[in-house]
Amino acid sequence: MIAINVEELVRRYKKKNLLKKNEEYVAVNNISFQVNKGEMFGLLGPNGAGKTTTIKILTTLLFPTEGTVNIMGLDIRKDAKKIRNQINFTFGGERGLYWRLSGMDNLKYFADLYNVPTDIANKRINRILEIIGLKEWKNERVENYSKGMKQRLHIGKALINDPEVIFLDEPTLGLDPVGAKDLREIIQNLLNLDKTILLTTHYMYEADLLCKRIAVINKGKILANDKPEALKSLVKDSNIFEVEVYDIDNDKINKIRNLEFVQNLQIDSNENSKLLQIQLKKECNISSILSIIDDNGIKAITNRRPTLEDAYIKLVGDGTSD
């Protein structure tokens, strides 16, 4: 069964610039995708790609400009109220919880909002506290929770109406590696409860680990929609060459980018160094790269197999062109 069906969805915003009153900005530009019941589906894309706009439409918070959306067979335009009973969502960040209440009282409050009968709510809340690993902390005020615990409570909040479909917008944003790992396990376990999940994330590793299928979205359009393995095969014929240098100027970077066997170049800047991640065709001449950066103080060189992140960079580009 199809849980989420999106067809030719378009969302335009009026531009905020007062001088260009009637100009519109297309945030979601004719996208279509389906998510099967019980599946975890990932929506990946850079800032401003249109992910949050899409989720807001799917959760009935924003009206679509064009196109159709069905959630559990219900039409987003006609059955928004019924849909709201079958879905829930988290929009990351720390807002939306009552910090002066305990975790348990937060959940009780949200159960009330959904009119869950008290006896069912009590059982459900106990179960939720187990799922999100906050049983021992249930009477502690949320203001004393760590960021990871707050995010777990957000997931708990999203389970309070026992929804069929859950939308998670960047659930692990800003968490430390251990907090993020714990949360990923909790999210993974939601599939055992037969939930359908639509997840947005900036972390490729996370999408690769959790999602059965992934749509890569950029500038409002879907560039690819496939299993992680299939996306990775987009870069199976390339090699990733990583060079860490103390510093490098734009001229040299452009010289490397223009080498005929260089498919992509991504730079991660740290305080004391820059990491160049260079996607190379199979047939390449590494020494010509090294001769360009020879005098820049090379700290480290590695050669590695491509990951989902490399496939993503190939699809979305490295941010140098518009």
Ligand X SMILES: Nc1ncnc2c1ncn2[C@@H]1O[C@H](COP(=O)(O)OP(=O)(O)OP(=O)(O)O)[C@@H](O)[C@H]1O
Per-residue tokens: 214: 């992934």
Q: Does 109 sit near ligand X (CB under 6 A)?
A: no
Of residues 2 through 31, those in contact with ligand X by CB under 6 A are 13, 16, 25, 27
Q: Does 315 sit near ligand X (CB under 6 A)?
A: no
The size of the interface with ligand X (CB under 6 A), counted in residues, is 12
The β-bridge partners of 167 are 89, 198
Choose, by CB under 6 A, the member of 24, 36, 48, 304 that binds ligand X: 48
Of residues 144 through 203, those in contact with ligand X by CB under 6 A are none
Q: Are 278 and 306 in contact (CB under 8 A)?
A: no
Choose, by CB under 6 A, the member of 50, 156, 171, 306 that binds ligand X: 50
Per-residue tokens: 294: 């020879």
Q: Does 45 sit near ligand X (CB under 6 A)?
A: yes
DSSP state of 143: G
At which residue do the structure tokens 């959904």 appear? 114
d(CA 215, CA 104): 36
Of 41-49, 187-195, 260-268, 294-302, the window that binds ligand X (rule: CB under 6 A) is 41-49
For ligand X, the closer of residues 52 and 264 by Cβ is 52
* Sheet bearing 221-226, strands edge to edge: 87-90, 165-169, 196-201, 40-44, 213-218, 221-226
**Whole-Å CA distances, 10 to 35, 44, 53, 257:** 18, 18, 10, 35
Of 46-54, 97-105, 160-168, 276-284, the window that binds ligand X (rule: CB under 6 A) is 46-54
Of residues 208 through 267, those in contact with ligand X by CB under 6 A are none
Binding site for ligand X (CB under 6 A): 13, 16, 25, 27, 45, 47-53
